[in-house]
Amino acid sequence: MGRQPCCDRVGLKKGPWTIEEDHKLVHFIFNNGIQCWRNVPKLAGLQRCGKSCRLRWINYLRPDLKRGALSEAEEDQIIELHARLGNRWSKIASYFPGRTDNEIKNYWNTRIKKRLQLKGIDPLTHQAIDKEKYQHEPDDKTELLSRTETYDKRNETENFIENANDISLPDNAYHNMLSENINVDLWNKSCKTISTCYSPSISLEAEESINFSTTSTATESSSNVAAPAEEQESIQQWMDSIFSSAVNQLEEDLFFLRKYN
């Protein structure tokens, strides 16, 4: 007899998570914590398997996740760790609080690997690639680098200027902004953009819904009842941490724009 599937697959949803599903999962975990992933979808009212819930939480919804591009120093550290540990992504990720193994793995496969190859280094062995073989592909490699670099710059710039609305900021952010003579409107717009881009499912729209679930006027569904004070506090802390990482990201973006414009 073969191995049992991790869950009953009949009628289960697959593919990208919706904001509503994210809400349900987050709300459930805030209320109940994590005991058994297998039971989570049933108790949280989700048409997903436990495995999918776990992955979504770990890779995307966890409050302590860092967002945004990895720094050059982090990239160097990944290369060094990979040389020592190989493809042990979770081990490597453990050196980067707030980063997931999936994120590190994707970053390695899409960027670092190519950059190492460009430098003539085999990403598997971390040894110099056979020169004769390497010389057969310079054009392709140049093309790859240029597209990757373009993509990075484009993303960072676009995040900065698109889809923006007002958002309130901490006092010290305004102070820093004014002392550096940065346009206030642009800053406000960027904060909204970043909170959306770097945490799409926990965007302001999601925030509103979470706040909704913590107010005594919420009556639409049984899951939207008033939350206890501790939960309200933990949700607030969570939103604060998301906002704070968005502001950090904004500062990185501003640095980038000053450097290149």
Partner DNA sequence: AACCAACCCAACCGCAACGGT
Partner DNA sequence: CACCGTTGCGGTTGGGTTGGT
- Considering beta carbons, is residue 13 or 218 the nearer one to DNA? 13
Residue 50 interacts with DNA (CB under 7 A): yes or no: yes
Q: Is 98 in the site for DNA (CB under 7 A)?
A: no
Min CB(172)–DNA separation in Å: 29
The verdict on 4 binding DNA (CB under 7 A) reads yes
Residues 116-175 that bind DNA (CB under 7 A): 143-144, 146-148, 150-151, 154, 158
10 binds DNA (CB under 7 A): no
CA distance 161 to 191: 10
- In the complex, minimum distance from the CB of residue 145 to DNA, in angstroms, rounded to a whole number: 8
Judged by CB under 7 A, does residue 59 bind DNA? yes
Contact in structure between 117 and 103 (CB atoms under 8 Å)? no
Cα-trace Rg, the chain: 22
Bridge partners (DSSP) listed for residue 121:
128
Only one of the segments 49-57, 173-181, 183-191, 214-222 lies at the binding site for DNA (rule: CB under 7 A); that segment is 49-57
Under the binding rule (CB under 7 A), the answer on residue 20 touching DNA is no
* Shortest spacing between CB 75 and DNA, in angstroms: 12
**Residue 66 makes contact with DNA by CB under 7 A:** no
User: Dihedral (C-alpha) 119, 123, 126, 130: value to the nearest 10 degrees?
Assistant: -60
Asked whether 47 and 75 are in contact (CB, 8 A), the reply is no
Does 102 interact with DNA (rule: CB under 7 A)? yes
Q: Toward DNA, which CB reaches closer, 55 or 129?
A: 55
Contact positions vs DNA (CB under 7 A): 3-4, 6, 13-17, 35-38, 48, 50-52, 54-56, 59-60, 87-91, 101-103, 105-107, 109-111, 114, 143-144, 146-148, 150-151, 154, 158
